[in-house]
Every structure is written in C-alpha cells, then in structure tokens.
Structure 1
Amino acid sequence: MNNHSDPKDSVAWDIRHWIRIPALNHQADAITINNALAKLPGILQVQVYLERKKIRVEYDQTKVDFLLLKNQLEAVGFPLSDSWWWRRKWSWFQYLDVNARENANAPAPPCCSNPKGINAASRRQR
C-alpha cells in the first residue's frame, strides 16, 4: 500500500491517528467516511470501528494534514468529538503534520563529517 518512489515520500512521513466521531452509528456511515477520505491525496488507509465510534486513519503528512481531514469529515456530516481533550489532540495532530511537512521539504543539511570538505576552503594552492 505504501508505494513511495521519492525519498521524501517514504514511510517516515506516514502517520496514524485515532479520531473520535460521535455521529458514527451505521455501516453506511463507515462507507461515507471511507469514500470522503479516499478523495484526499495521501490517504493510505482508513479503518472504521463502529462500536467505538472511532476511525483510524493512516496518511502521508507531506500530502495531507489533520485540518484537511477534519474539514472533509465535517463537510460530509461527521463532525469530530468536541470535548476539551479532543480539541487538544486536534491541535497536537495539526502541529505534528505542519512540522513533518516543513522537515520533509527542508533542504539537505551540509555534511560536516566529510574529511575532503573540512579544510577544502582553507587549503593553500601551491
């Protein structure tokens, strides 16, 4: 399921979250949620647990973030749990996604342990 061709698209940027959805009651709801999230780029897997009223979503943080997932679920009529604890978790999930995306798109750091490059600038030409 994880077919990544670019090194930045590796499984290092894949993450899984549990998301509580109070309106999740029937198998038809599960199908609606699966279809809605499947439209988003970077969604790798969605598992629905009706008895827990939760879903487990695995996605690539470089392509999609938690806020986009939340907005997509609300657009199809499934708002997330609105308790204090879940609002804190949403904020944390979004922070992790933004941080991961910035790290994935950051330029490669210079290599300081390359012996050929350590004194290259200070060598005298003879």
Structure 2
Amino acid sequence: MIMKIHKLRLNQPADKKKIAELNKMLSATDPAAGAEPGDEQQSVIVRYNLRRQIFKQVLEQITSAGLVVERSFWQRLKLAKWGFTEENERDNITARSLPCCSNPEEILSKVKRTN
C-alpha cells in the first residue's frame, strides 16, 4: 500500500455534503482512502492508495462529486507535478529489477543481446 495525501484548493468554499460524497466514492475502491475538509475554508484533503488509483482518477472523482479545483498557475503546476511524480513511482514499482552491480557479466550479456 502506497498512501498518498494531497491538499487541493477549491474555487469555492468546501461543501461538506460534496466532500462526504467524494469520501464515499474514494473509499469504495479502498477503505483507507477518503476525503475531508482542509484547514482552510476552500480546500479538501484526499487520501488514496497509489496501487489502486492514480491522481488523474482522483481528480475525475472530485469533479464528479461537484467540487471545482482551483485552476491558478501554481495550482496547475502542483497538480502536474503530482501526476508526473506518481507516474514515475508506478513505473518504478512495476520495473524489472536489474542484477547486482557485483555481477557485471550478466549486465554485459544483456547489453550485447540488445545491440
């Protein structure tokens, strides 16, 4: 389990009913996932398991719950960074492990086959 926690700024004050709906949607895929109001009036905190959901899916669920994420330059930059970082994490999780550096013959034999 790789839990992710993100705080998102919203365009309008957080509606507790919509956040409760989002919480239900997120926890349907994973009981540890969920949403809650942030410490600021216009924010929401989301938790989800990276092995079961990706940030793009969470954003879609936020939108379908009726919440609107702020689209300022810095917010868009932050969202893009989170998406890129999570894509790298998921790629690293599924990557095949390489042989140990103490066995260079195995590494060289694989390099020769690919060339």
- Which structure has the bigger radius of gyration? 1
8 Å Cα contact 1:19/1:54 also seen in 2: yes
Structure 1 window deviating more from structure 2 (22-31 vs 57-66): it is 22-31
Per-residue CA deviations over 1:83-110 (Å, capped at 9, x if unaligned) read 1111111101110111111000011221
The match for 2:57 is 68
Please report the TM-score for the alignment, with normalisation by the length of structure 1. Answer: 0.68
8 Å Cα contact 1:70/1:79 also seen in 2: no
Please report the TM-score for the alignment, with normalisation by the length of structure 2. Answer: 0.73
Query: Structure 1 unaligned runs (5+)?
Result: 1-8, 121-126
RMSD: 2.6
The match for 2:19 is 30
Structure 2 Cα separation of the partners of residues 109 and 38 of structure 1: 36
How many residues are treated as equivalent by the alignment? 106
Structure 1 Cα separation of the partners of residues 76 and 31 of structure 2: 23
Change (3 A) 1:83 1:73: same
Equivalent positions of 1:59-98 (< 5 A) are: 59-98=48-87
- In structure 1, what residue type is equivalent to 2:51? T
Per-residue CA deviations over 1:8-34 (Å, capped at 9, x if unaligned) read x4xxx3222111123444322221221
Identity of aligned residues (%): 21
Equivalent positions of 1:107-126 (< 5 A) are: 107-113=96-102
8 Å Cα contact 1:24/1:50 also seen in 2: no
Structure 1 Cα separation of the partners of residues 105 and 60 of structure 2: 52
Determine whether 1:58 maps to 2:47. Answer: yes
Query: Structure 2 unaligned runs (5+)?
Result: 107-115
Structure 1 Cα separation of the partners of residues 104 and 75 of structure 2: 49
Structure 2 Cα separation of the partners of residues 36 and 50 of structure 1: 21
Structure 1 Cα separation of the partners of residues 71 and 105 of structure 2: 58
- In structure 2, what residue type is equivalent to 1:26? D
